[in-house]
Amino acid sequence: MAEILVCQANSCRQGGSQAVLLEIEELAKALNCTVKPVGCLGACDQAPAALVLKAGRERICTRIKSVEKSAEVVQHATGRTLDLRDPDMLQRFTSVRRVRIRQQACQESKWNAALAGISEEIAQSSGMRRWQLRIEYGQLLRRAGLFEEAMTEVSEVHKAFPTSIEVLMEFAQILSKLGRVEHITDLEAHVRSICCDPEDVRLEMELILRLGRLKAEAVEVTETPIDVREPRIEGYAIWSLRDVTLVSKHSAIYHFVSKDRQRGTPNPRGRGRTVWPKTWHVTLLARLGANSEGPLPWIERDYTPISTAKEWEQGQCDILIKIYNDGQATSWLQQQPLGIRIWFSQPVKTLSVPSLLPDLDQAPFRPASYLLLLAGTGIVAAAQVLHHAERGKCFGSSPTINSPIRLVHSCRSDDVLMSFELLDWCTKGLLKSWTLLLTEAEAGMTPFPDVQDADLTNCASTPNVAILRSRVSCELIRKELNFCPRPCRVLVSGPAGFNAACQSMLREVGFESDAVTILSA
């Protein structure tokens, strides 16, 4: 029987893989085929993706961005051509996909991605669906900090549905952001007029209380001097670029600082809270103007800091970034002067620790060993994992990771990253073994041509460090796994091609796929 594995990792979820899973399940119903969700397939730059397993052979299907593409996946698995002439079915699937993409973007506070395409949906819809989309559009504009635009949209809906509590409260939230105290007072009177039934007394009291809080927020806005008043983007805080440290011909560490109390923490704690160790990332807003990713003047990119959670709480953040010639966000960042104000999201969980699984385990899983297969700037994953093995940098008073960690890092000879830090972890015994695989230098222009290549003299003389001019191979992976007590957790992070190759090699050496976590870098 054929099997279809639909990727549900982060990049694919952003592209609507939850809807893809539903589509393929529906299309494959009653056919000789099973459909399952699965972790990263290593095709992060071609999301959403699925893997077809049939007669001992594998076929990767990428960019499944329409119902027709989902049908092609089912056809590859079953050999059956599907009839897609039902317009109602196509419309239903298309609507579900849009909703799931928007929901995922909202969960990650990616407002440009959430707003992408919604204006076109409104133009194509009618009746109540059109009004529902307009109120959702207004909510997203408010959360993105575009309060005037949000008020224009929601006020029209409020006029059409003056007794709708949902619309009224959304309108009140926008008014509070704009400091319109008197308008919220008018809404309080409006609530009393529409809640005139004795049965509505409790609802009226609740709404008046909520409006009172929003009015207090509006007063705070009016008391803030206009010259320092700035719209807030929900889920984000303002940071400034303090310094840049060039570390290779292609990469640099960007040092950011912040006094914004909205920056949050990777490690929420306090009375009644349980500390949940995790690796984490943040989203940077690159304000490069009009773009193809959505209607807002920025694009959203995820980065994993190499600094600790405690440093974040102190208002410091270091991010290792490779500058790509065709990278919109990195090219924009390279051009920014010191002191520039930049929006970062509040920290977002990447993996649970110590399991290194994306979701919090029902029964915490503690591997007996770890093997990290990393490439390029994927090395940032090693920093966060090793922070949990080091007292003073981990969450809580004692390290969460106590099992041996082995590292294989592949990089170009002119882009060796974090060698000093990795050597220090090797010396301390936190890193059991480090194998550095050097490949040829990257051809073409380099953003920082004057930076000297990393000095690896001390690394070469350290017993638990090996430097090879080679690429990752099945033989190397098999050798590393032989040193890893079971159960072993393998973490793969690098460019899409590296991730896919490692996943294939791990299958070839017979390593269990459910013990592998893959992250895009």
pLDDT (average), residues 2-18: 87
- In the chain, the amino acid numbered 95 is S
CA distance 33 to 13: 23
Task: Supply the pLDDT for residue 490.
Answer: 97
Task: Supply the pLDDT for residue 271.
Answer: 61
User: What single string gives the DSSP state of each residue in 89-156?
Assistant: HHHHHHHHHHHHHHHHHHHTT-HHHHHTTHHHHHHH--HHHHHHHHHHHHHHHHHTT-HHHHHHHHHH
User: What single string gives the DSSP state of each residue in 176-214?
Assistant: HHHT-HHHHHHHHHHHHHH--SGGGHHHHHHHHHHHHHH
C-alpha angle 28-31-37 in degrees, rounded to nearest 5: 40
Helix-then-strand count for the chain, H and E = 18, 17
Mean pLDDT of the chain: 91
With the C-alpha atoms ordered 429, 430, 432, 436, is the resulting torsion angle positive or negative? Answer: negative
What's 495's DSSP letter? Answer: S
Q: What are the pLDDT digits (tens) for 258-297?
A: 999 999 999 887 666 667 899 999 999 999 999 999 999 9
**Long-range contacts at 91-97 (CB < 8 A, ≥ 24 apart):** 93/19, 93/22, 93/23, 93/26, 93/67, 94/66, 94/67, 96/19, 96/22, 96/23, 97/16, 97/19, 97/20, 97/23, 97/67
Q: What are the pLDDT digits (tens) for 320-350?
A: 999 998 899 999 999 999 999 999 999 999 9
Question: 517: closest CA among 357, 349, 279?
Answer: 357
**pLDDT of 359 higher than 80:** no
- In the chain, the amino acid numbered 515 is A
The tokens for 312 are 């974040």
Q: Residue 504 contacts by C-beta under 8 Å, 6 or more apart in sequence? A: none
**pLDDT of 227 higher than 90:** no
Tell me the backbone φ, ψ of residue 56, rounded to 5 degrees.
80, 5
**pLDDT of 352 higher than 60:** yes
Pairing of strands 316-322, 405-412: unpaired
The tokens for 445 are 């222009």
Q: pTM of the predicted model, to two decimals?
A: 0.90
What share of the chain in percent tops pLDDT 90? 68
Helix (H) or strand (E) holding 519: strand 516-520
Cβ atoms 73, 50 nearer than 8 A: yes
pLDDT (average), residues 381-394: 95
Task: Supply the pLDDT for residue 397.
Answer: 81
What's the pLDDT band for 362 if we cut at 50, 70, 90?
very low
**pLDDT of 64 higher than 90:** yes
Task: Supply the pLDDT for residue 364.
Answer: 64
Task: Supply the pLDDT for residue 196.
Answer: 66
Task: Supply the pLDDT for residue 262.
Answer: 94
pLDDT (average), residues 384-406: 93
CA distance 314 to 376: 28
CA atoms within 13 A of residue 315's CA, in its CB half-sphere: 11
Minimum mean pLDDT range among 4-13, 113-122, 129-138: 4-13
CA distances from 439 to 410, 433, 452 (A): 7, 20, 17
CA distance 247 to 249: 7
Q: 444 vs 63, which has greater pLDDT?
A: 63
**pLDDT of 443 higher than 70:** yes
Task: Supply the pLDDT for residue 274.
Answer: 66
**pLDDT of 415 higher than 80:** yes
Task: Supply the pLDDT for residue 42.
Answer: 79
Q: What are the pLDDT digits (tens) for 163-182?
A: 899 999 999 999 999 999 99
The tokens for 344 are 């970062």
Tell me the backbone φ, ψ of residue 107, rounded to 5 degrees.
-60, -30
Task: Supply the pLDDT for residue 376.
Answer: 96
What share of the chain in percent tops pLDDT 70? 97
Minimum mean pLDDT range among 150-159, 281-290, 354-363: 354-363
Task: Supply the pLDDT for residue 273.
Answer: 63
CA distance 521 to 358: 15
What's the pLDDT band for 513 if we cut at 50, 70, 90?
confident
The tokens for 16 are 């609507």
CA distance 394 to 400: 7
Task: Supply the pLDDT for residue 293.
Answer: 94
Q: Is 295 helix (H, G, I), strand (E, B) or coil?
A: coil
**pLDDT of 201 higher than 80:** no
What's 294's DSSP letter? Answer: B
pLDDT (average), residues 50-55: 90
Task: Supply the pLDDT for residue 410.
Answer: 98
Please, what is the end-to-end C-alpha distance for the chain in angstroms?
34
How would you label 211-239 residue by residue, b for 16+ Cβ within 10 Å and e otherwise? beebbebbeebeeeeeeeeeeebbbbbbb
Q: 56 vs 136, which has greater pLDDT?
A: 136
The tokens for 334 are 């390279």
Q: Is 32 helix (H, G, I), strand (E, B) or coil?
A: coil
Task: Supply the pLDDT for residue 496.
Answer: 86
**pLDDT of 361 higher than 60:** no
